[in-house]
Chain A
Amino acid sequence: MKLISNIRNDYQKNRSIYWLCIPIVLYYLLFCYLPMGGIAVAFQKYSLGKGIFNSKFIGLQNFTNFFNSYYFWRLLRNTFLLSFNNLVIGFPIPIIFALLLNEVKNKNFKRTVQTVSYLPYFISVVVICGLIIDFTNANGPISQVLALFGMGNISLLGDPKYFRTVFVSSEIWQHMGYSSIVYLAALAGVDQALYEAAVIDGAGRWKQTLYITLPGISSTIIVMLILRVGTLFALGFEKVMLLYNPATYDTADIISTFVYRKGFEDYNFGFSTAVDLFNSVINCSLLLITNKLSRKFSDTSLF
Chain B
Amino acid sequence: MTATQKSPGRIVFIIVNTIIMILVCIVCLLPMWHVLMASVSDPIALQKFKGLLMTPIGEPTHKGYLLVMQNPNIFTSYINTIIYVIVGTGLGATLTLIAGYILSRKTFRYRRVLMSMIVFTMLFRAGMIPQYLVVNALQLTDTRWAVILPSLLSVFNITIMRNAIEQLPASLEESARIDGAGDMLILFRIVAPLVKATFAVIVLFYAVARWNEWFNAMIYLTKRELFPLQLILREILIINQNTVTAGADISSGLDNYKELVQYATIIVATVPILCIYPFVQKHFVTGVMIGAVKG
- List residues of A whose CB falls within 8 A of some B CB: 6-7, 10, 13-17, 20-21, 23-25, 27-28, 30-39, 41, 52, 97, 100-101, 103-104, 109, 112-113, 115-120, 122-127, 129-131, 133-135, 139, 141, 144-145, 173, 176-178, 181-182, 185, 199, 205, 220, 223-224, 238, 241-242, 256, 259-260, 263-264, 269, 272-273, 276-277, 279-280, 283-284, 287-288, 300-303
- Whether A112 and B102, one on each chain, are in contact in the complex, defined by CB atoms closer than 8 angstroms, is no
Assess the A127–B269 pair: CB atoms within 8 A. yes
Closest B-chain residue to A112, C-beta based? B25
- Whether A118 contacts B126 in the complex (CB less than 8 A), given A10-B109, A125-B212, A205-B13, comes out as no
A182 to B149, CA, bound (A): 31
Q: Which residues of A contact B107 (CB under 8 A)?
A: 13-14
Contacts of B152 in A (CB 8 A): 27, 31
- A16: nearest residue on chain B (CB-CB)? B183
**Nearest Cβ distance between residue B244 and chain A, in whole angstroms?**
15
Give every chain A residue within 8 A of B102 (Cβ-Cβ).
17, 20-21, 24
Name 18 extra pairs, CB < 8 A, besides A16-B182, A117-B24. Answer: A10-B109, A17-B102, A24-B102, A25-B117, A27-B152, A103-B13, A103-B14, A116-B24, A123-B270, A126-B237, A126-B238, A127-B269, A130-B266, A238-B215, A272-B129, A276-B128, A277-B127, A280-B125
A and B contact pairs by CB, cutoff 8 A, 23 listed: A7-B109, A16-B182, A17-B108, A17-B183, A24-B98, A30-B138, A35-B130, A118-B281, A119-B274, A119-B277, A123-B32, A123-B270, A124-B211, A126-B230, A131-B35, A133-B237, A145-B52, A182-B289, A224-B292, A273-B127, A283-B124, A284-B123, A287-B123
Q: Once the chains are docked, how many angstroms separate the CA of A162 from the CA of B99?
A: 45
**A24-B102, A130-B233 are contacts. A144–B51 as well, Cβ < 8 Å?**
yes
Within the assembled complex, what's the spacing in Å between the Cα atoms of A24 and B98? 8
Report if A119-B28 is in contact (Cβ < 8 Å); known contacts: A100-B17, A276-B129, A301-B294: yes
Most buried by B among A14, A263, A302: A14
Q: How far is the CA of A118 from the CA of B28 in the complex (A)?
A: 8
The answer to whether B28 touches A120, judged by C-beta atoms less than 8 angstroms apart, is: yes
Using CB atoms, name the residue of chain A closest to B280. A122
Q: Is B70 in contact with chain A by the CB < 8 A criterion?
A: no
User: Taking CB as reference atom, which chain B residue is nearest A116?
Assistant: B25
B134 CB–A CB distance under 8 Å: yes
Whether the Cβ atoms of A303 and B51 lie closer than 8 Å is no
Query: Chain B: which residue is nearest A123 at the CB level?
Result: B270
Report whether B270 and A139 are in contact in the complex, using a CB–CB cutoff of 8 Å: no
Residues of B contacting A182 in the complex (Cβ-Cβ under 8 angstroms): 288-289, 292
Give, as a whole number of angstroms, the nearest-CB distance from A271 to chain B: 10
Residue from B35, B52, B132, B153 within 8 A of A27 (CB atoms): B153
Q: In the complex, are the beta carbons of B52 and A141 less than 8 A apart?
A: yes
Does B133 count as interface, using CB distance less than 8 angstroms?
yes
Q: For window 118-166 of chain B, which residues contact chain A by CB distance below 8 Å?
A: 118-119, 121-135, 138, 149-150, 152-153
Residues of A within 8 A of B208 (CB): 122
With A and B bound together, what is the CA distance between A116 and B219 in angstroms? Answer: 35
CB distance from B180 to the nearest CB of A (A): 13
- Please state if A124 and B230 are interface contacts (CB–CB under 8 Å): yes
- Minimum CB distance partner of B231 in chain A: A126
Is A100 within 8 A of B98, CB to CB? Answer: no
B273 and A123 within 8 A (CB):
yes
- In the complex, what distance in Å separates the CA atom of A300 from the CA atom of B123? 17
**Complex contacts, A15 vs chain B, CB 8 Å:** 182-183
Contact A264 B262 (CB under 8 A): no
B294, A17: Cβ atoms closer than 8 Å: no
Question: Which residues of B lie under 8 Å from residue A129 when comparing CB positions?
Answer: 237-238
CB pair B28 A116 closer than 8 Å: yes
How far in angstroms is the closest Cβ of chain B from A7?
8
For the complex, what is the distance from the CA of A26 to the CA of B106, rounded to whole Å? 22
Query: Considering the chains assembled together, what is the distance between the CA atoms of A38 and B13 in angstroms?
Result: 59
User: Hey, which chain A residues are within 8 Å of B121, CB to CB?
Assistant: 28, 32-33
When the two chains form the complex, which single residue of B34, B212, B236, B273 contacts A141, counting CB atoms closer than 8 Å? B34
Listed from nearest, the 9 A-B pairs whose CB atoms lie closest are: A38-B130, A130-B237, A35-B126, A276-B127, A35-B130, A16-B183, A141-B52, A32-B121, A10-B109
Assess whether B21 is interfacial by the CB under 8 Å rule.
Answer: yes
Distance from A150 Cβ to chain B, minimum over Cβ atoms (Å): 16
Indicate whether B75 reaches chain A with its CB closer than 8 angstroms. no
Contact residue among B126, B182, B262, B270 (Cβ-Cβ distance under 8 Å from A134): B262
Min C-beta distance of B182 to chain A, whole Å: 6
Q: Which of the residues B10, B132, B238, B292 comes within 8 Å of A133, measured between beta carbons? A: B238
Partner of B288 from A134, A185, A280 at Cβ < 8 Å: A185
- Residue interface mask B203-240, A partner, CB < 8 A = 1: 00000100110110001000000000010011011100
- In the complex, are the beta carbons of B99 and A24 less than 8 A apart? yes
Report the Cα distance A7→B288, complex, angstroms.
37
Chain A CB within 10 A, most for which of B49, B129, B153, B273: B129
Q: Determine if A35 and B131 form an interchain contact, defined as CB atoms under 8 angstroms apart.
A: yes
Cβ contact within 8 Å between B21 and A100? yes
| Residues from chain A with Cβ under 8 Å of B237 in the complex | 126-127, 129-130, 133-134
How far is A176 from B20 in the complex, measured between Cα atoms in Å? 14
B-side contacts of A10, CB under 8 Å: 108-110
